[in-house]
Structure 1
């Protein structure tokens, strides 16, 4: 199951961590590229993007009687679907209190009701096939790095507990020290019903289900153009043209200029992670004895999880940096980790990687149909592990004509184009660096 070391990776070991996701080590070796079988000239549905959204939509569509081919410009699943922190919860970029204030409590409850449905679907997979996806129902702790952060955090989650019935535990200084053994935290909240998966295993499980249903998944096929014909679409690719009745775009942070209408509505965001070597039990006791998932409540937060075998710490942050700065960003993350947990000063970092998410202008995920009749499910804003498959099922139901199953509040807001500057690689870096400055805890000896 382990990925083979290449000569490049061996060289990386000498210089520092391997520049690839830790999760990749558990994925099956990629079969040799073989384009012996030509692409079909026709299909009922072409899905563009073979991440979690694409393969789950393909499964539902195929089980619904449609012939489906999924195309990906690279290796299927090699994007953010297998490069994230593996955290599963009922959160997205809007707080419950904010939505209540801006849209009313009833609408806020609808949004968070669907977030719960998305979480419950992954949790149900975990209950049925836990080992296959690396499922751990471990709770999540959100730490506050200042008294002001703690006040804001407590207000939000007590509101959610009261109105939504979420089970939480408010942590004071003594309580947070039992969860995050770092002097930096002033308190926090534990969300009881949260979990984690192994992103590599989770993706392969979802991919296998799609293949078993009869979907065809093809990697290294770039879509060059989607044209609307009289009663169908023509999808032009680097390996030929496919005529189809419906197209679903599921490329998220990897949407390129060939999909111009969609690219104009997404701001790509790079996130970064590092993995430690295996840690002894005594080390875990000194930093994260409960081994839950963790993050803080800044807008540019650090986040932490652990490998399913409980041995390695995964640590992420520095969101928005340029991917060309991966090794430099990995060095900065390592310094952040050691600043938060001085006990890890001598721990070796074995892996470092980046993955690309996408934000929308209103910070809501979106599912729907564009003016040319192309379906889409996009813009998860860091909630894709649960929301990607959930909205995939909504998009597939719409294609299958199942109106009741397709209903979702995530198609209720207009999917507006972003101004050009908002999609610039430099804008996101400047914005998130500003957030890091604006949300900085007072009195720290260094910025994190």
Structure 2
């Protein structure tokens, strides 16, 4: 396209594509005087925990500083991962028992998620379609080959390599150097899933309180008092599930979760036949770069959802959309003339050890840090935390009570991201052009 103005469809809006059918809800309900459990954060993690607790007979309130579900749970790409990338180097550090438990739970987060959708009859346009991870360099492909036995033998996943000569079976592009298919992966409409989870929580007797920011959590007789923008709330137990939107109400979590902005675009409906050409098996797609991009077709297979770290600082959605469209067009020159209808951004939460965490600190429960792959894992950690509160947790979760590192120079604002991001971007470019 000759100018950036031609990138945008006349109906372009700055909001998630998913909101056109399922927008967030206000739910600014009056706070009760007291509850058994107060949950801070209305995403998948908080609602999954709330549902389990409410069905367990407890009085539960879920609070959010914004509209219910306005954060990452309705802003993400709806890609459901089958197994987290557990750093193999941690095997010796953590010990075989803990490491094996993390591997077990990373896979269980996906299998239990599918079982949950089926058991609850949730219609979120979910499809197990598999994931193709495209290698951005020959060296990246070799590293994937080395990782394959880990995925197959240790995690029990159905995975295989696709050489460059056959990659058109998976992606209509010459940009990559082959890649890996993992069948245990899928896609859904994240806002529809959130809406179903929200409704089930309310049906179980839970209460939702949007536009109710928590400013402080302090101990009190019989539990805690949460100071909020809607007044105080007494609770016997508190669970903080704010993830990439953790503010200053509880400094422990803010010092350990690193919010990173992910930028996303959605295209107008593709010309007839183009979707099947660029993504023949309608898989979830991601690449191997450190500054990665991820992309997929919408559930109706008519549009592209394309996301990634377009910038290392907070920028206007239109600016980030131009960057994303340019890279999308490098992968698929066929889509260069396709316009953008939606652009948005949202925070994902990373940790210093690249692992999710759940646990209890000063008697406050927490969970988060899903490294940008939280649809299944955040649901899983929320449920496991609820079972722990109910005293029905069974076998301990592998991510429960891990050492949760911070850094003395980090206080919740990731000032180092532009430095690290540009360094990683340079490494990605070197690998691509040298074949590392």
Fold agreement, TM-score > 0.5? yes
What residue is the counterpart of 1:19 in the other structure?
14
What residue is the counterpart of 2:391 in the other structure?
401
The CA deviation string for residues 8-38 of structure 1, in whole angstroms up to 9 with x for no partner, is xxxx97788421111111205746x7x5x53
Change (3 A) 1:13 1:160: closer
- The partner residue of 2:176 within 172, 185, 192 is 185
Q: 1 or 2, which has the higher helix percentage?
A: 1
After TM superposition, give the deviation of residue 340 of structure 1 in Å: 1.1
Deviates further, 409-418 or 271-280: 409-418
What residue is the counterpart of 1:7 in the other structure?
none
8 Å CA contact retained: 2:241, 2:368: yes
- The partner residue of 1:140 within 131, 134, 149 is 131
Matched, 1:227 2:218: yes
What residue is the counterpart of 2:47 in the other structure?
55
Deviates further, 409-418 or 274-283: 409-418
Q: Distance in 2 between matches of 1:208 and 1:444?
A: 50
What residue is the counterpart of 1:6 in the other structure?
none
SS of residue in 1 equivalent to 2:299: coil
8 Å CA contact retained: 1:145, 1:441: no
Change (3 A) 1:436 1:159: same
What residue is the counterpart of 2:35 in the other structure?
43
The CA deviation string for residues 241-268 of structure 1, in whole angstroms up to 9 with x for no partner, is 1111001000011011122221111111
What residue is the counterpart of 1:218 in the other structure?
209
Matched, 1:302 2:297: no
CA RMSD after TM alignment: 2.3
Change (3 A) 1:271 1:248: same
The CA deviation string for residues 94-146 of structure 1, in whole angstroms up to 9 with x for no partner, is 34x44446545554332121011110122124445677111011010001011
Matched, 1:74 2:66: yes
Q: Distance in 2 between matches of 1:318 and 1:275?
A: 15
Q: Distance in 2 between matches of 1:332 and 1:360?
A: 26
What residue is the counterpart of 1:390 in the other structure?
380
The CA deviation string for residues 219-262 of structure 1, in whole angstroms up to 9 with x for no partner, is 00011111101331011111111111001000011011122221
Structure with the greater relative contact order (CA < 8 A, sep ≥ 6): 1 or 2?
A: 2
Q: Distance in 1 between matches of 2:412 and 2:92?
A: 28
SS of residue in 1 equivalent to 2:316: helix
- The partner residue of 2:403 within 414, 425, 430 is 414
- The partner residue of 1:263 within 254, 260, 275 is 254
Q: How does 1:217-296 map to 2 (within 5 A)?
A: 217-296=208-287
Q: Distance in 2 between matches of 1:94 and 1:29?
A: 33
8 Å CA contact retained: 1:321, 1:329: no
Unaligned runs of 5+ in 1: 1-11
Q: Distance in 1 between matches of 2:307 and 2:59?
A: 39
